[in-house]
Structure 1
Amino acid sequence: MNLEQISTFLTVYQSGSYKKAAELLYLPQPTVSHRINQLEKELGKSLLIRGKGKVRLTEEGKAFLPYARRILGTLKEGQEAVERVGEGLKGKLSIGCNNSFAAYILPDVMESFSKDYPHVSIKVYTYASSELVRLMKNQHFQLGITRYTSNDSNLTYRPVLSEKAMLFVSPEHRFAKRKSVTLEEILQEPILTYPKETQYRNMIDVTLNQFNLTYQAKLETNNLQLIKHFLKRNAGVFLSGSAYMLQEINDKELVQLEIEDNPFPLSQVFVTYRENELHSLDYLFIKHFEDRINWKPQTSAALAAFHKTGAS
């Protein structure tokens, strides 16, 4: 396995065909096919499916994709780091994310980044996750931070965090002294949740529908601060990843509990960008963001668990 094979694999996937990849790489199409064949031979699995329309990933290809991106991304980061030696970093950076991320996770990342690179100015735009993808396509900002991906071949999604859904309750709640609760017990409680049009709420509803389980939402809002307000007053329970709730957990204002036989898919955070337009400053922020968000004990443990299960 070598970098040429990995780069060719990503180009075929992003362009959607071997022919377009050959044009982009200025290579004969047989050379592109040979590189993919050699990569698949070394991995012992097929990665791409050729057929009518765009080339598609096999399940093994989907598993390999984020690691291939990470390998090339790390290499480019190293190249950029060498170029930056002895230079004072200056520039402008524009970032798009949702309101909750901007309120509860991004401030810590931006504060530490600004201390290390005081001459870099940052603009932050907040939109719904679905709108972020559209604006990224239109080059409204350089980097997007989102919990969801799209099938747009022009955008690259780099996973920076993965965590399981937890239950959050007030310290006065009847579950607060326990370590875990069942899904059936949770659904008997007043549920605080996001509105139905949000993707996170849709993930919860789709999962519960698979088990023929229903619930009655007591409060629906896309304002996480409002949800936290009622949580602290023991007005209901809330399903979420830990990243948005770290401050309240550390201050003992809320309690998090494991969900027994947890059926919910892992909640992920991605940095999205346009591969061909990524510059040294973008790479630097992504790396800083990745290191910072995984530095916290709760989030780093979740990420480590994800990689462990994903590798098995």
Structure 2
Amino acid sequence: MNLEQISTFLAVYQSGSYKKAAEQLYLPQPTVSHRVNQLEKELGKSLLIRGKGRVKLTEEGKAFLPYARRIMGTLKEGQEAVERVSEGSTGKLSIGCNNAFAAYILPDVMDSFIGDYPHVSIKVYTYPSSELVRLMKSQHFQLGITRYTSNDSGLIYRPVLSEETMLFVSPQHRFANRRSVTLEEILCEPMLTYPKETQYRNMIDVTLAQHSLTYRPKLETNNLLLIKHFLLRNAGVFLSGSSYMSKEVNNRDLIQLEIEHNPFPLSKVFVAYRENELHSLDYLFIKHFESRLNPRSLTETSSRCPITGAG
């Protein structure tokens, strides 16, 4: 089985006849017939039915068709990649992440990455964290940026950031002049939090339940901008990793406090990719991503990034 046989099979099916396929391929018709016959011989099944009118697919041909198209499509993408390299480009990159990450943290990373690699084409898809794994496995994008891992085979998770869960309050809050607070004190305050269906909220709830602690949320939303709005108005307190809050902390719009005897697991960020499919461009982006995702660079450069929501 070779590419000539597969492309000829597709040409015959798409044109509807061996004669038209021969004309399109600038080949003698016997050559077209020979290639299809050899392909069918190697597969051990007939793929096409000759008859009056258009050539039709057998059931085996229908099963083989999407794979043939995928093979030729991948070959075309490879040819395009070679052409882009010859033109000074390094290819295409597709990334999936949640809304908050795309709106708040990713712009700074992408600004500097595009500055270093100006000919790279980038697509960014935003989905809830729960959807990222499924879409990664279906090859919807090359790299997934997520705060959580899964046990799905075929996916590799590379940690790029690890930070403690902190408490964030308004400068007008009664905790504002302190360096740390106890968990019991925090839970007496009005809590701003993500909805129950989010993985981050589940982490908070499970951790508190393990310590037989409860709380009553004042506001539940998956929109980080709305949470920050109420934080700035001193309407409650919020538990989060530092990365999403660095702009406001750096500008002294919000105060970051340590949690005494912090029971929460470290807040992490991972880049996920399919096993054995980490290509050179993917690796370049991951290394660049790691170099930008440190607290100092985020604090210094994220002030120009808008915030819309969290997944």
TM-score calculated relative to the size of structure 1: 0.67
The reply on whether 1:115 has 2:115 as its aligned counterpart is: yes
CA drift at 1:297? 6.2
What stretches of structure 1 of length at least 5 have no aligned partner?
1-85, 300-312
- Residues 9-37 of structure 1: per-residue CA shift (max 9 Å, x gap): xxxxxxxxxxxxxxxxxxxxxxxxxxxxx
The 1:211–1:295 alpha-carbon spacing in structure 2 relative to 1, beyond 3 Å, is closer
C-alpha contact (below 8 Å) 1:195/1:201 kept by paired residues:
yes
The reply on whether 1:278 has 2:281 as its aligned counterpart is: no
The 1:295–1:248 alpha-carbon spacing in structure 2 relative to 1, beyond 3 Å, is closer
Distance 1:181 1:238 in 2: 13
Distance 1:140 1:298 in 2: 28
Distance 1:197 1:295 in 2: 28
Show the counterpart of 1:205: 205
Matches within 5 A, 1:118-197: 118-197=118-197
Distance 1:291 1:94 in 2: 19
Read off the aligned partner of 2:169 and give its amino acid letter. Answer: V
- Residues 236-258 of structure 1: per-residue CA shift (max 9 Å, x gap): 00000000011111111100000
TM-score calculated relative to the size of structure 2: 0.67
The 1:225–1:295 alpha-carbon spacing in structure 2 relative to 1, beyond 3 Å, is closer
Size of the aligned set, in residue pairs, is 215
C-alpha contact (below 8 Å) 1:171/1:252 kept by paired residues:
yes
CA drift at 1:88? 4.0
User: Matched residue of 1:296: which SS?
Assistant: helix
Show the counterpart of 1:253: 253
What's the % identity of the aligned pairs?
80
CA drift at 1:200? 0.5
Matches within 5 A, 1:292-311: 292-294=292-294, 296=296
C-alpha contact (below 8 Å) 2:292/2:298 kept by paired residues:
no
Distance 1:95 1:297 in 2: 21
After TM superposition, which residue ranges in structure 1, 4 or more long, deviate above 3 angstroms?
86-89
C-alpha contact (below 8 Å) 1:242/1:298 kept by paired residues:
no
CA drift at 1:296? 2.0
User: Matched residue of 1:152: which SS?
Assistant: coil
Read off the aligned partner of 1:121 and give its amino acid letter. Answer: S
CA drift at 1:217? 0.1
C-alpha contact (below 8 Å) 1:97/1:132 kept by paired residues:
yes
User: Matched residue of 1:245: which SS?
Assistant: helix
Alpha-carbon RMSD across the aligned residues, in angstroms, is 1.7
Distance 1:176 1:113 in 2: 37
- Residues 171-226 of structure 1: per-residue CA shift (max 9 Å, x gap): 11000000000000000000000000101000000010011111010000000010
User: Matched residue of 2:276: which SS?
Assistant: helix
- Residues 52-99 of structure 1: per-residue CA shift (max 9 Å, x gap): xxxxxxxxxxxxxxxxxxxxxxxxxxxxxxxxxx99442111000001
Read off the aligned partner of 2:234 and give its amino acid letter. Answer: N
User: Matched residue of 1:167: which SS?
Assistant: strand
Distance 1:87 1:189 in 2: 59
The 1:295–1:264 alpha-carbon spacing in structure 2 relative to 1, beyond 3 Å, is closer
| Further displaced range: 274-283 or 116-125 | 274-283
